[in-house]
Chain A
Amino acid sequence: MHDVAFEKVTKKFGKVVAVNNISFQVNKGELFTLLGPSGCGKTTTLRLIAGLEIPQSGNIYIKGKNVEKLLPKDRNIGMVFQNYALFPHMNVFDNIAYPLKIRKQPQKEIIHKVTEIAKNLQTEELLSRKPNQISGGQQQRVALGRAMVQEPNVFLFDEPLSNLDAKLRTEARSFLKHIQKEMKTTAIYVTHDQKEAMAISDRIAILDKGVIMQIGTPKEVYKNPENVFVAGFIGDPPMNLLDCSIKYNQNKTVLDFLQFKLDISPIRDLVREKVNNEEVIVFGIRPEDITVEYKDISPNSIKGEVFVVERLGPETIIHVKIGNLILIVRDFSEPNINMGDTIWLKIDLNSVHTYKKEDGKIII
């Protein structure tokens, strides 16, 4: 039995379809991320699970129980809002204690549970303060405490890190992951930051315009993106995606990019059945799967001019201009190259991704 299951759920706001007939299952104890650009439907999906929105059609299950008719309070979920939503007129203690107080738990128990959680979250000294007297990072932990204290079935996180400064974010990120794993509670996490998603998730669901584009572990969505959208969304710097037309010749199969040509004969059999001659497809290669050479030594290498060099410590990002196309390369050898240099790029054919032009679906 899955902890959370979505079955063909659709949610419309007036004429706008925010969530379009999506289905997925979340396993027990998993940190499942809903990832995508703004407006893709991830927050709506989260709110549907919480019960803050009612779907037009479909079924939602939490721990096997069909919850659509249930009010949020009966679903036993702990939610951390993007702006924390800490009650400003109550101090930290009362904020965290609120779920217990509402459920009429005995005062002694409340004190015990709240102080324990506060200890866990390192917010003990803050208990008597009001939300406007503590920092953003502390507020976030208090919001987390309020969600934790009810020992919920599921955690829901709505972009909990987006209001923190970059430095705090990495710290808070690992803290959240740690707590989740410790409590062994299933968590659903919403973010638009793909790096964040990759860092903490057990599995990721990528959404675009209300539709799920792919579900998989971080490794899976990175190594095998199933469509152009996912390919271009995951990864920083993003995958190089270029249009080209395939040409089957007698002894060679070549991808024609107009500015240059790439011989893909070694992997010809993989595409033969799926693509016709002269058909236009989308070619993808990740920056780290391209190697830089200073001389024209390898066959099938592409000649280009260095356009921009970004030195980021051990990693160097090189933007290479070929005609009016640009390929981005990631190099870890700290090369001694400068703008304007001529270099050759070698593409690892085993890491090539190709997609149909019309629907973006994967070919190989």
Chain B
Amino acid sequence: MFEGGIILSKKRAFLFILPALAFVTVFLIFPAIWAIYIGLTNEALTGIFGLNHQFVWFDNFIKAFKDPWFRSSLQISFKFVFGSLVGQAGLGLLLALLLNNKKGIIKELVSNIVIIAWIIPGVVVAYLWVAFLDKDFGLLNSILEILGFARVNWFHTLPVGVIIIFNTWRGTAFSMLLFMAALQSIPPSYLETADVIGASGWCKLRDIILPLIKPQILTDLILLTLWTFNVFTPFILTKGGPAHMTEILPIYTYRVAFMGTCRIGQGAAISTIILLINLTLALIYLKMLKRK
């Protein structure tokens, strides 16, 4: 089964793998499994249950599904993910298409700006948007005022919209890069043939380009779904407010587990649910990869 060679004896090879395996087991695999275990208890960080927790079996899970806040955060997450998908994938594709055959300064400039939005640390981006959208001082409102419109309190008027746009701004670069590479891989002869036939831009897009990059589009969508579903940064922007209106599932989990009564058991149950959702998404992704 395990062939040690002259380069690495069996013993040595095992020793080499050990540290990595240890780290991964303790800090990646074990927590995942333990989440399920804790979810079956009523452990808390404070109060009676902090000292002596008991097994409550599926109580936490049932409580979760019954909790209106849980259901609402699921809904908000759904809207958030959907909006981000449309935004990021859409803008990413648009940018990739527009920049496809351009060279030099314009391409460099545009793509660099989009990528820098991705690279700036999340905390900073959050506060950039706090500043940008501020009702009284923000740049956006100032511009609107100059154009003759009224100032808007964006966080109150369009809470979910705000985090969607924030997340889109942040993450478009990934989709853009992915689609740029995908477009590059289309043999130019396909598009040239279309030109010769006299196809318009729209036709070329619909009939040639999109079908050819379908695998990348699907990959993009699945990965984005997985990542967006798990993103925590909106917390810094809105803390889930106003009035829980932007409380996506990650923020809800944090609130349950670490704020107020710190119901760890409950939080773990929710974590388990998230794990299962992630797992489903990841398996769908793997299946798509295999099909390719």
B6: which A residues are within 8 A, CB to CB?
51-54, 71-72
A54 to B9 CA separation, bound complex (whole angstroms): 12
A29 to B6, CA, bound (A): 28
Interface residues of B in 2-41 (CB under 8 A from A): 6
Per-residue CB proximity of A19-53 to B under 8 Å, as 1/0?
A: 00000000000000000000000000000000111
Chain A residue nearest in CB terms to B7: A52
Once the chains are docked, how many angstroms separate the CA of A54 from the CA of B4? Answer: 11
In the complex, how many angstroms separate the beta carbon of A52 from the nearest chain B beta carbon?
A: 5
What's the Cα separation between A11 and B209 when bound, in Å?
Answer: 56
Task: Please measure, in the bound complex, the distance between the C-alpha atom of A72 and the C-alpha atom of B6, giving whole angstroms.
Answer: 9
Give min CB distance, A234 to chain B, whole Å: 33
Dominant secondary structure of chain B at its interface with chain A: loop
Cα(A51)–Cα(B6), bound, Å: 8
A43-83 interface bits toward B, Cβ cutoff 8 Å, 1 = contact, 0 = none: 00000000111100000000000000001100000000000
Using CB atoms, name the residue of chain B closest to A51. B6
Contacts of A72 in B (CB 8 A): 6
The digit string for A71-102, where 1 denotes a CB below 8 A from any CB of B, is 11000000000000000000000000000000
- Cα–Cα, bound, A53→B6 (Å): 7
CB distance from A200 to the nearest CB of B (A): 29
Residues of B within 8 A of A51 (CB): 6
CB distance from B4 to the nearest CB of A (A): 10
User: Within the complex, what minimum Cβ distance (angstroms) separates B9 from chain A?
Assistant: 10
> How far apart sit A71 and B8, CA to CA, in the bound complex (Å)?
12
Q: Across the interface, name the chain B residue whose C-beta is closest to A52.
A: B6
**Bound Cα distance from A331 to B242, whole angstroms:** 102
Chain A 258-273 interface mask (CB, 8 Å, partner B; 1/0): 0000000000000000
Residues of chain B with a CB closer than 8 A to A53's CB: 6
B245 to A: closest C-beta gap in Å: 59
How far does the alpha carbon of A54 sit from the alpha carbon of B6 in the complex, in Å? 8
A52–B6 Cα gap in the complex (Å)? 6
The smallest beta-carbon distance between A79 and chain B, in angstroms, is 13
How would residues 239 to 259 of chain B score, 1 for a CB under 8 Å from any chain A CB and 0 otherwise? 000000000000000000000
Residue of A nearest to B4 (CB): A54
A72–B5 Cα distance when bound, in Å, is 13
Interchain CA distance A183-B6 in the complex, whole Å: 30
Q: How far is the CA of A71 from the CA of B6 in the complex (A)?
A: 8
**B152 → chain A, closest Cβ, in Å?**
61
Q: Give chain B nearest CB distance to A357 CB in angstroms.
A: 40
Q: How many whole Å from B211's CB to the nearest CB in chain A?
A: 42
Tell me the bound Cα distance from A277 to B257 in angstroms: 97
Question: Smallest CB–CB gap between A181 and chain B, Å?
Answer: 31
CB distance from B33 to the nearest CB of A (A): 35
The CA of A22 and the CA of B24, in the complex, are separated in Å by 47
Residues of B within 8 A of A52 (CB): 6
Q: How far is the CA of A54 from the CA of B3 in the complex (A)?
A: 12
Q: Tell me, rounded to whole Å, the shortest Cβ–Cβ distance linking A53 to chain B.
A: 7
Tell me the minimal C-beta distance from A9 to chain B in angstroms.
16
Rounded to whole Å, the gap between the CB of B142 and the closest CB of chain A is 58
Residues of chain B lying within 8 A (CB to CB) of residue A71: 6
Bound complex: CA A339 to CA B28 (Å): 78
Shortest Cβ distance from A50 into B: residue: B6
A50 to chain B, nearest CB (A): 9
Smallest CB separation, B2 vs chain A (Å): 12
User: Which of chain B's residues has its CB closest to A53's CB?
Assistant: B6
Q: What are 6 A-B pairs at a CB distance below 8 A?
A: A51-B6, A52-B6, A53-B6, A54-B6, A71-B6, A72-B6
Which A residues fall within an 8 A CB radius of B?
51-54, 71-72
Give the 4 A-B CB pairs with smallest separation, nearest first.
Answer: A52-B6, A51-B6, A53-B6, A54-B6
